[in-house]
């Protein structure tokens, strides 16, 4: 039989693919899911049960949470990446790691075919196909949902005809959880004017009394929460657990898809938003003006390329090297206040804090220069403006 690896999530689209490709097309289907956060062991067992029932020869769950952090999330923090100044790339960033893990698995087992359940209307088709084609151009990509332009109703009818009668009622809101946040889609996000109701978000307000947390960074990585050291992945999960009780991190992102359309998606990302903002504040204190300027350009560029599936371009490794080098002095504590639906950055403590009073206090007194020094500096600084005004007048 023709060996095929299917990127399998357990949802309707990939369930259709599992049945169709094994029964109608005669493939030996090996279903693979990649956990980048958000899946419990019970959920994985249920996904496996359904995959095998649908005709898959085997099912494999790949734990890639640590890989996701090391390969992607770490650099999203270093770069303070927020797409359109809003979205921390919660789910779109996961697809890159998932695609890489799946295609590497396909090469490992000697599969000549690889399949996914993406439609032809979104970003994921581009991300998966690009990764597959770059890493393994010899493997043929099969996409039944996209190729046949299948509607949800047609997929359900096919599965029922073949003895699969799972409860496929479409949930009012689609939820995709991961280490770096959760996406929320619904009828409101298909419009330009409607907001998602509070009930659409997975975490509801549980804690109303304000509290403080301390985030400790070493060379840009989150190494402790409230003084308790742990791995960055565990610390992200801790911040998520604490802040989600305050219903922090809700928003709707509006952006450009890879295929040129506009799209909206809701998200809930308390940990990623708090960590990025806290890290950014620490950088404001510990990096020079021009370091911050260049980091902003490179961070935005990195996030755009990642979002659009260009993770394997060599320039991404160049940017990662640059971002890593900028983190040499980004160490210290950041003090954060948590409140219902919001957080506030109180301040930082770092031995690398450039806001030192050795040269003076802002707006009060200077220690490193004289009044005459200041006058001469200002006169020279204004020189180009004076020349332009002399030649052109006050335009």
CB 54 within 8 A of CB 15: yes
**Average pLDDT of 58-63?**
97
The neighbour count for residue 115, using CB atoms within 10 Å, is 30
pLDDT of 357 reads: 75
Give the whole-angstrom CA distance, residue 40 versus residue 155: 27
What is the number of other CB atoms lying within 10 angstroms of the CB of residue 8?
A: 30
Helix (H, G, I), strand (E, B) or coil at 134: helix
Residue 335 · residue 214 · CB < 8 Å: yes
Give the CATH fold of the 2-161 domain.
Rossmann fold (3.40.50)
| Class at the top of the CATH hierarchy for domain 174-349 | alpha beta
* Structure tokens belonging to residue 379: 């006169």
Position 360 scores a pLDDT of 67
Only one residue has tokens 């770069």, namely 79
Mean pLDDT of the chain: 94
Q: Are 5 and 115 in contact (CB under 8 A)?
A: yes
Is 272 a residue whose pLDDT tops 90?
yes
- Three-state DSSP at 364 gives coil
Segments of the chain assigned to CATH 3.40.50.620: 2-161
pTM of the model: 0.94
Residue 192 pLDDT greater than 80, yes or no: yes
What's the CA gap between 395 and 377, in Å, rounded?
Answer: 25
Our measurement of the distance from residue 342's CA atom to the centroid of its chain's CA atoms, rounded to an integer in Å, reads 20
Distances (CA, A) of 262 to 29, 254, 259: 35, 7, 9
pLDDT single digits (tens) 137-180: 999 999 999 999 999 899 999 999 999 988 877 768 888 899 99
Is residue 141 within a helix (H) or strand (E), and if so which, with residue range? strand 140-142
Q: What percent of the chain has pLDDT over 70?
A: 99
Mean pLDDT of 290-294: 97
Q: What's the CA gap between 285 and 344, in Å, rounded?
A: 17
Question: For the chain, where do the domains classified as CATH 3.90.1260.10 start and end?
Answer: 174-349
227: left (phi over 0), alpha (psi -120 to 50) or beta: left
The answer on pLDDT for 95 being more than 90 is yes
With a cut of 90, say whether residue 393 has pLDDT above it: no
Average pLDDT over residues 55-80: 97
Q: Can you tell me the mean pLDDT for 376-382?
A: 96
Strands (E), 147-246: 174-178, 181-185, 211-218, 221-225, 228-229
Residue 208: what pLDDT? 97
CB 34 within 8 A of CB 101: yes
- Cβ atoms 186, 172 nearer than 8 A: yes
What are the tens digits of pLDDT across the range 193-216? Answer: 999 999 999 999 999 999 999 999
Q: Which two tokens stand for residue 351?
A: 């031995």
**Helix residue spans in 110-200 (DSSP H):** 124-135, 144-148, 152-161
Return the closest-CA partner of residue 166 out of 45, 43, 39, 50: 50
Identify whether the C-beta of residue 227 lies closer than 8 Å to the C-beta of residue 268. no
Distance CA 166, CA 148 (A): 22
């Amino acid at each position: 039989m023709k060996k095929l690896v299917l990127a399998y999530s357990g949802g309707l689209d990939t369930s259709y693919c599992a049945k169709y490709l094994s029964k109608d097309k005669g493939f030996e289907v090996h279903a693979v899911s990649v956990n980048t956060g958000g899946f419990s062991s019970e959920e994985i067992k249920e996904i496996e049960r359904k995959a095998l029932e649908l005709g898959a020869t085997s099912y494999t769950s790949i734990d890639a949470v640590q890989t996701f952090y090391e390969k992607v999330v770490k650099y999203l923090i270093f770069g303070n990446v927020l797409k359109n100044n809003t979205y921390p790339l919660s789910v779109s960033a996961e697809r890159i790691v998932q695609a890489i893990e799946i295609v590497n698995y396909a090469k490992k087992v000697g599969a000549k075919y690889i399949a996914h359940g993406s439609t032809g209307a979104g970003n994921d088709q581009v991300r998966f196909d690009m990764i597959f084609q770059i890493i393994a151009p010899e493997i043929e990509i099969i996409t039944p949902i996209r190729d046949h332009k299948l509607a949800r109703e047609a997929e359900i009818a096919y599965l029922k005809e073949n003895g699969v009668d799972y409860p496929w009622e479409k949930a009012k809101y689609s939820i995709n959880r991961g280490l770096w946040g959760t996406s929320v889609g619904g009828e409101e996000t298909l419009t330009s004017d409607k907001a998602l109701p509070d009930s659409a978000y997975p975490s509801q307000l549980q804690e109303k009394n304000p509290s403080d947390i301390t985030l400790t960074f070493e060379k840009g990585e989150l190494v402790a929460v409230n003084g308790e050291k742990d791995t960055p992945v565990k610390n992200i999960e801790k911040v998520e657990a604490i802040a989600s009780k305050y219903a922090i991190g809700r928003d709707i992102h509006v952006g450009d898809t890879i295929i040129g359309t506009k799209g909206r998606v809701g998200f809930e990302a308390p940990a990623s938003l708090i960590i990025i903002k806290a890290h950014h504040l620490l950088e404001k204190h510990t990096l020079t003006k021009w370091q911050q300027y260049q980091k902003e350009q490179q961070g935005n560029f990195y996030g755009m390329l990642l979002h659009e599936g260009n993770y394997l371009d060599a320039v991404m490794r160049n940017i990662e090297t640059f971002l890593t080098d900028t983190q040499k002095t980004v160490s210290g504590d950041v003090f954060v206040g948590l409140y219902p639906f919001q957080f506030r950055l109180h301040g930082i403590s770092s031995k690398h804090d450039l806001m030192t009073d050795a040269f003076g206090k802002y707006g009060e007194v200077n220690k490193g220069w004289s009044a005459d020094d200041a006058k001469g500096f200002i006169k020279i600084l204004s020189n180009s403006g004076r020349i332009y005004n002399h030649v052109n007048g006050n335009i």
